[in-house]
Amino acid sequence: MASGSRSLFTVQTAPSARAIALSLLVESDSSEEGIDVLLERALAPSSFDSRDRALTVELTYGVLRRRATIDWRLEPVLDKPLLRLPVAVQMVLRLGAYQILFLDRIPQSAAVNESVNLAKAFTGTVGRDWSGFVNAVLRAFLRHPPEPWPDMNLDAAHALAVRYSVPDWLSRRWVKRLGLASAERACEGVSITPPLTLRVNQLVTTRESLLDTFAQAGITATPTSVSPFGILLQEGGPVPSLPGFDEGAFYVEDEAAQLIPLLLDPQPGDIVLDTCAAPGGKSTHMAALMQNKGIICAVDRKETRLNLVRSNCDRLGVRIVEPIVGDIRQPREWVPLVTAARPPSVKQARRGEPAIDRILVDAPCSGLGVLRRHPEAKWRKDAQALPRHQALQYQILESVASCLRPGGVLVYSTCSTEPEENEDVIERFCRAHAKFQRESAVSWLPPVAQGFVNERGALSTVGNQFSMDGFYAARLRKVL
């Protein structure tokens, strides 16, 4: 179970799927860790059977994914705002309502009774017995006829926020920026359950061979439509149990993310800098494109995060990644280590030029393009995060600009949908650095992906028909 989660309950019985889900939801409300990390930790004990695991995942992700809709449905049967209740009470009501609204296989009476039992179990941690309150609210919820959806003609942004369970500030932003039709598609995309997408590790196998392996194991899998390296699995499940995992045959990665290294186009023998590299998905992909020849300096601020890079490299058979601890905004912390990894040539050293051939700036961002994968993030973010991220993104570009050799390539990417973190950052950077010129992404993408290149030549997978995550990437070359 997630650290600190057991303290929510005063009973000392083995936790049920609902109890684990409740603990995770309460912890997620105040944690900075992703719900995927919390779930992995909570479900690590082997004593949980597959049904309990599946229900825990369903309840946890379901409540987070549908939270705004659930809250709106609960509102008519509450005599005070839901957010004024203790967090544990909020979450147990949401759990009960989610089962009633979205899980037909669970009897409504069971959803109510189990929620009441949960409320009894955490009595000692919230100061009073809330079980009677939970029972009354959920039984009133069962009796209350469903409200019609909010009228789009009265307040379209609010209606979208409720229907698709997105934060009100975000739906208003998208309606204003995109128009109603595109905003609705964006909101709908946030609310869906994403597919499980794999990237085939070309150092180990081919896509055709891995598809055959899955077919022989009775696993339904299909090649992705856009990425030449991707495989879609029709059903999720424990990834480490899939055939080929231990052999390093694949890495879990969205189809859009698989396109980013193609824009950088790293070649065998190159010196590549991967900023903010953890957990190593793009570093390991670039290593495969480079045929394990050259060097990739993977920089991240925390040793614990670089351990993820090392672990993924070990499993995938990647030998050319050099993890480096350092703040990418402070070149003095990492440039000497990059130089030590592979010193510049005599000619470059004499001219005082850097030796890095290609730089990937996969920048920290709001993550608004991947909210469907991280539904907890919907309730942690606000509009004020955008300028904060923008400032950091620009600082990172500034810090690495002088490290790229003349003629070298820099790719800037985010998993954000918002122009403040994408075009605005690149436009400002190019105005300040005349030696960096934009190049259209078209030449480095497979034909089917070229339709996602915008008028400025950048890759933008926001709102496309292939159900990919929202990514942005711009390619720049440092002229001689």
The string of pLDDT tens digits covering residues 198-208 is 999 999 999 99
- What is the average pLDDT across 249-272? 97
Residue 49 pLDDT grade (very low, low, confident, very high; cuts 50, 70, 90): confident
What pLDDT, on a 0 to 100 scale, did the predictor assign at position 75?
Answer: 96
Q: Are 363 and 396 in contact (CB under 8 A)?
A: yes
Residues 244 and 264 in one domain: no
Assess whether 375 and 446 both reside in one domain: yes
Looking at residue 347, its pLDDT comes to: 54
Are 201 and 307 found together in one domain? no
Cα dihedral: 277, 330, 471, 242 (round 10): 10
Tokens of 284: 């390991």
> What one-character-per-residue DSSP string does 50-116 give?
HHHHHHHHHHHHHHHHTHHHHHHHHGGG-SS-GGGS-HHHHHHHHHHHHHHHH-TTS-HHHHHHHHH
- Which distant-in-sequence residues (6+ apart) come within 8 Å of 226 by Cβ? 255, 256, 259, 446, 448, 449, 452, 466, 468
Of 16-20, 341-345, 403-407, least confident by mean pLDDT is 341-345
Are 287 and 357 contained in the same domain? Answer: yes
36 with 117, same domain: the answer is yes
CA distance linking residue 372 with residue 470, whole number of Å: 10
Residues 60-101 have pLDDT tens digits of 999 999 999 999 999 999 999 999 999 999 999 999 999 999
Residue 253 is predicted with a pLDDT of: 98
What residue type is assigned to position 204 of the chain? V
In a domain, 319, yes or no: yes
- pLDDT at residue 148 is higher than 50: yes
Predicted pLDDT of residue 6: 42
When pLDDT is averaged across residues 269-298 and rounded to a whole number, the result is 97
Q: Which of 100, 183, 159 is nearest to 368 (CA)?
A: 183
* Strand-strand pairing, 356-362 and 404-414: parallel
Query: What is d(CA 428, CA 408) in angstroms, rounded to the nearest whole number?
Result: 20
Give pLDDT, residue 352: 58
Q: Would residue 149 count as lying in a domain?
A: no
The amino acid that residue 202 corresponds to is Q
Does residue 354 lie within any of the structural domains?
A: yes
Instruction: Report the C-alpha gap between 123 and 383 in whole angstroms.
Output: 36
Q: Could you say which of 187, 313, 365, 415 is catalytic?
A: 415
Residues 137, 204, single domain; the answer is no
Residue 365's contacts (CB-CB under 8 Å, 6 or more residues apart) are: 389, 393, 414, 415, 416, 421
pLDDT of residue 351: 59
- Identify which has the larger pLDDT, 331 or 290: 290
pLDDT at 5 over 60: no
Residue 355's pLDDT is what? 82
212 and 312 fall within a common domain? no
In a domain, 68, yes or no: yes
Residues 6+ apart with CB under 8 A from 310: 280, 323
Q: How far apart are CA 6 and CA 11, in angstroms?
A: 9
368 neighbors 381 (Cβ within 8 angstroms):
yes
Question: Residue 7: pLDDT above 90?
Answer: no
Both 329 and 470 in a single domain?
yes
What average pLDDT does range 19-48 have in this prediction?
A: 90
Query: Same domain for 306 and 427?
Result: yes
- Is residue 1 in a domain? no
Residue 268: is the preceding peptide bond cis (ω within 30°)?
no
- DSSP letters spanning 435-473: TEEEE-GGGGS-GGGGGGB-TTS-EE-TT-TT-----EE
Confidence at residue 3, expressed as pLDDT on a 0 to 100 scale: 40
Residue 150 maps to a domain: no
171 & 81 share domain: no
Average pLDDT of span 412-422: 97
At residue 377, does pLDDT exceed 50? yes
Q: What is the pLDDT of residue 339?
A: 79
Do 293 and 269 contact (CB within 8 A), yes or no?
Answer: yes
Range in 2-6, 157-161, 179-183, 429-433 with the lowest mean pLDDT: 2-6
Assess if residue 94 is contained within a domain.
Answer: yes
160: Cβ–Cβ under 8 A, 6 or more apart, which residues? Answer: 152, 166, 171, 174, 175, 183, 184, 187
pLDDT over 80 (residue 378)? yes
Confidence of residue 326 (pLDDT cuts 50, 70, 90): very high
In the residue annotation, 415 being an active-site residue is answered as: yes
Any idea which of 59-73, 140-154, 453-467 has the lowest mean pLDDT?
453-467
**Helix locations, 295-446, DSSP H:** 303-316, 331-341, 346-351, 385-401, 423-432
pLDDT, mean of residues 437-450: 96
Query: Is 127 in the same domain as 214?
Result: no
Between 7 and 319, the more confident residue is: 319
pLDDT, tens digit (0-9, with 9 covering 90-100), for 462-477: 866 678 999 999 999 9
Mean pLDDT score, 267-274:
96
Average pLDDT across the chain, whole number:
92
Q: What is the CATH number of the domain that holds 120?
A: 1.10.940.10
345 versus 6: which is more confidently predicted?
345
Cα–Cα distance measured from residue 164 to residue 65, given in angstroms and rounded to the nearest whole number: 9
Q: What is the CATH number of the domain that holds 325?
A: 3.40.50.150
Domain encompassing residue 448: 257-478
Q: For position 219, which CATH number holds?
A: 3.30.70.1170
Residue count of the chain: 480
Please state, in angstroms and rounded to a whole number, the distance separating the CA atoms of residues 356 and 354. Answer: 6
Least confident of 320-324, 352-356, 416-420: 352-356
pLDDT category of residue 424 using cuts at 50, 70 and 90? very high
pLDDT of residue 47: 66
Answer yes or no: is pLDDT of 4 > 50: no
The total number of structural domains that make up the chain: 4
Alpha carbon separation from 239 to 121, 130, 291 (Å, rounded): 33, 38, 25
Residue 178 — φ and ψ, nearest 5°? -105, -20
Q: Are residues 239 and 281 in the same domain?
A: no
Domain end residue (candidates: 252, 269, 300)? 252
As given in the structure block, the two tokens for residue 246 are 């231990």
- What are residue 273's DSSP bridge partners? 297, 359
- pLDDT for 332 equals 86
Is 346 a residue whose pLDDT tops 60? no
In a domain? residue 80: yes
